[in-house]
Amino acid sequence: MKNKSNTKKYPLSIRNWPEDDRPREKLLKFGEHNLSNAELLAIVIRTGMAGKSAIDLGRELLNKFKSLRAMSGVDISEFKEIAGLKDAKVAQIKATIELGRRMMSEEKAFHGVVKSSADLVEFLTPLMRDLKKELFKVILLDKGNHISEVIDIDLGTVDRVNPSIRDILLTALKYQAPAIILAHNHPSGDVEPSKADKILTKDLVIAARAMEIRIFDHVIIGENTYYSFADDSLIEEYEMEAIN
């Protein structure tokens, strides 16, 4: 039998900690800026498990994914690899991270007339840069070239997205948008358009013209960089082919 003096004591749950050390009470007393990332995650996670506090779970998350930003777009199954993270806790974490991404986008939201690809990039990058799968969006413009809606059309795989030309054009017609901009991300960070990207864009430009809808651009978002079909004169080239 082991000597009692050699046995390790289980860690106390957060509710038994001194009040100033508990993340929630610490935030309310000193402000959120005084908490570590692990402590903020602990507030989101709320409860731990036997022998592991919510802060321990927060630390495990940071050790596994290295940063808060890296958690964005991570598949739910990867969170569940950490013992103690079930559906409810994973949903809370994912929702919090998504709110953070949307807040970043709101801060950089574009206001006014869309004149070039650069006008959209700061708005789109926080929403799309860290996604682990390709996401295809359609930006609908009104007659004054102001953004009226941003619609998610299709979510693909890590290296491919296959949006429907029909769905894109029906969306534009539904919202009575005279012009649209296409956008999708490349999780690899390489923004060079693939052959499939070029074929899709060309087919859309031609089909949209027949319906009196203008395709202003197709933007590919990468790691702090982007590619614009319009800037590379390909939209103009495809329009000329449609005329001829």
Per-domain boundaries in the chain: 8-105, 108-243
Top-ranked range on mean pLDDT: pick from 47-51, 97-101, 135-139: 135-139
**Bigger pLDDT: 158 or 194?**
194
Cβ–Cβ under 8 Å, residues 42 and 54: yes
Alpha carbon 89 to its chain's center = 19
For 150, phi then psi, to 5°, come to: -125, 115
Put simply, whether the predicted model's pTM sits higher than 0.75 gets the answer: no
**Bigger pLDDT: 224 or 180?**
180
Query: Which DSSP string corresponds to 144-155?
Result: TS-EEEEEEEEE
User: What average pLDDT is seen over the chain?
Assistant: 85
Superfamily, domain 108-243: Cytidine Deaminase, domain 2 (3.40.140.10)
Alpha carbon 228 to its chain's center = 20
Calculate what percentage of the chain has a pLDDT beyond 90: 36
Binned at pLDDT 50, 70 and 90, residue 10 comes out as: very low
What are the pLDDT digits (tens) for 20-31? 568 888 889 888
